[in-house]
Chains A and B, each alone.
Chain A
Amino acid sequence: MRRTVIITLIATLLGFLASVPIYAAEPIKFGFLHSLSGGVGQVYGIPDQEAVKIAVDEINKAGGILGRPLEMIARDDKLNPENAIREAKDLILNHKVQWIQGTVSSAVALAVSAYCKEAKVPFIITTAQSAAITEEKGHRYVFRLTTNTDTYTRSMANAAAKYWGGKKVFIIGPDYEYGHKSKADFMASYTKLVPEAKIVGELWPKLGNQDWTPYISKIMSSGADFVYCSLWGGDVISFTKAAWAFGYFDRVKHCGQDWGGVEALGKMGKDIFPKGVLGGSHYPYWIIDNPISKAYWPKFNKASGMFAGVSVSGYTTVYVLKQAIEKVKAVDIEKVINAMEGMELNTVVGKLQIRACDHQTLWPFWVGPVAVTPDLPWPHITNPVLLEQAKAYSGCAEIEALRKKK
């Protein structure tokens, strides 16, 4: 009796093992490493994952890549570099992924980038913005398919000068590197446009600050011409709620790169929102006239129940790799990287190129005043201005010099 049971068990197991390869050609695996839990996960990681799922579905339905299906292995970096490296190792060493994409925290992106450089596996950043990762710390295995902090601050400075052009600037930002770097970069760009501009006050709340009242009253009594604000994510929402009660947006000119994205504004209603604030957007689909975009955003909205935003970078990245693998007709990392360098892309925002010198995609960044119009259910940027790519990104020679200095 016992023997029969064992034999049956072994037979079933063997049957399972034998049946696996019959199903399909071996899939091409890639790692999706992003913040999938907590507030940041809700705002950035989850939408990105949904966008990537759409791309994988589309590609697999159309026959895969070189006849092989595509498989995403998703992991939560928990916004923690140490954890991210553990997951990246697992993805590369145990799952043999061909590339890793994602990440929102710049510290996480830096850590994963350093590991991928050693493991010789491409890492494509879809959300994290710190320019240093592709500039002085750039290397063969790191790519970025979104804007970076240079674009952010230069585009904001350009728009602030065009719309307002005041001399007295007030600064508020989260008290860590991103905030301080944003301030320095913004002022460097702005003083080129308005040479007499000066900082009249600075405030550095903690990331995830709860009580905005003291900050708001300080800004309102400062007499500044406008405020440059690098707060992002949940801080944008909580600041707006607090400031609205003071009539802040009627009296203060306020600008910031993260104040125009669907990530923050999509969560606000028509009654309380940062009225008139100059905000930025990676993908203002309501003004983009492009067949790829027109097919993408309704599909994303239907599949995820969310509005399309910066997460489109995740979607685009999957297609970049497909294009590169098909171009070299091989799933070979080194050849694929060579193909990606300087590659022309057809994206939702039009034709783009992955620059060969620093692997940065020159993604555009629109800046305009936030308003409510009848055609969209939530506040969004209107009449945006777009800084030309050559001015929004550092040039190859500049980056070369930065890397040498290091």
Chain B
Amino acid sequence: MRQSLAKMDWSGKALGIIVLLAGFLALPIFLPVGWLSLVTEMLILALAAGGLNLMLGYAGMVSFGPAGFYAVGAYATALILTNTKLPFVLAFAAGPVIAALTAIPIGWFCVRLTHVYFALLTLAFAQIIHTIIFEWYDFTKGDNGIVDIPLPEILRSIPHYYYFSLIVVVFCLALLWMIIKSPFGKTLQAMRENAQRAESIGIPVRLYQLATFVLSGFFLGVAGSLFCGFNKNVFPNYAHWIKSTEMLVVCLLGGIYNFFGPIVGSIVYLFLDKVITGYTQFWPLVLGLIIIILLLFLRGGIAGFIAERLALRRRRGEQA
């Protein structure tokens, strides 16, 4: 009985995902380009937050510096596109690879620390990346950023770039999903619950944490590269701690213990930002209030809250 229920649940979920994807594919038909551009941004931020959440929600590693890898991805793609004649695909792929390579030495240092020390060290490394980008004028153009990045003609229109982002983001989220559902993902969750216990049953915790760090860096790099093509320019503040905070808020808003949390968080966050900044200059005040409400009343974020409600209803249904 319970098994068949679970099966139904699965086919229901699959159906839901298919309907959702079809909806996303059809979006450019009825959505004005201005909004489509915002949806593209939502997708990219969802991927960045998803990459961060692998570390944050599943492995319990609170990072304050995800923007560092995001910026490395964005700058790698930007620098290759402006300085070399390499094709876009290569420049685009180089972003996440270089971000992941950067994450290896940084992660090696960071995973040696725990809790708040880990968080602070990630912040410090991200600020180092920010400073390098900000000060190295000859290479990164400093605070002026790199503008006017050449893109292939086919990706220059907003609907085309939207489809490109949709494919990349869906593919990456599917990868993340597989990672989380794999034995590796389960191990991460065990480590999150109790790292010492995990270690005592023979799990090389630091190695797993380093792997998570690098994977997370990779997905953040993909998001950075995507955003570089989306905006056609890059700036040092992509690496700034404010950007990191934004990603953390998106994760918290959506819910860090739910796979769809960062996606929901990104949609709600950017939508609120757009709507509220149209009316008032006090967007940070509203954001502050939202964070307070979240922390006090919605600890699981929006997705967590919905999942909880659904579970409650299902349980009631079972009882009846």
Contacts and interface: CB of A to CB of B under 8 A. Distances in A.
Interface of A: 36-37, 41, 75-76, 80-82, 85-87, 89-90, 92-94, 106-107, 110-111, 113-115, 117-118, 130, 132, 137, 175-177, 180
A81 B235 contact: yes
B277 A75 contact: yes
B143 A114 contact: no
Q: Which of A37, A75, A81, A106 has the largest number of chain B CB atoms within 10 A?
A: A81
A93 B33 contact: yes
Interface string B145-171: 101100000001010000000000000
Interface of B: 32-35, 37-38, 41, 134-135, 137, 142-145, 147-148, 156, 158, 231-233, 235, 237-238, 274, 277-278, 281-284
Nearest to B227: A82
A84 to B, nearest CB: 10
A37 B281 contact: yes
A111 B147 CA distance: 6
A180 B41 CA distance: 34
A48 to B, nearest CB: 14
Nearest to B274: A90
Given A87-B277, A106-B144, A110-B147, A93 B32 contact: yes
Contacts of A175: 135
DSSP majority for the A interface?
helix
16 contacts: A36-B281, A76-B281, A82-B237, A86-B41, A92-B34, A93-B32, A94-B32, A106-B144, A107-B143, A110-B145, A111-B231, A111-B233, A111-B235, A113-B147, A117-B148, A177-B144
B134 A176 contact: yes
Contact of A80 (B142, B147, B237, B274): B237
A82 B231 contact: yes
Contact of A93 (B37, B41, B231): B37
B34 A111 contact: no
Contact of B34 (A94, A106, A107, A113): A94
A87 B277 CA distance: 9
A326 B235 CA distance: 39
A19 B283 CA distance: 32
A107 B232 contact: no
Contact of B143 (A82, A93, A176): A176
Contacts of A36: 281
Contacts of B38: 86, 90
Contacts of A81: 145, 233, 235, 237
A130 B277 CA distance: 27
Contacts of A93: 32-34, 37, 158
Contact of B235 (A82, A87, A137, A176): A82
A76 B277 CA distance: 7
Contacts of A92: 34
A177 to B, nearest CB: 5
A85 B228 CA distance: 12
B32 A85 contact: no
Contacts of B277: 75-76, 87
B281 to A, nearest CB: 5
B33 to A, nearest CB: 5
A90 B34 contact: yes
Given A36-B281, A82-B235, A114-B232, A177 B41 contact: no
Given A106-B144, A111-B147, A114-B233, A82 B238 contact: yes
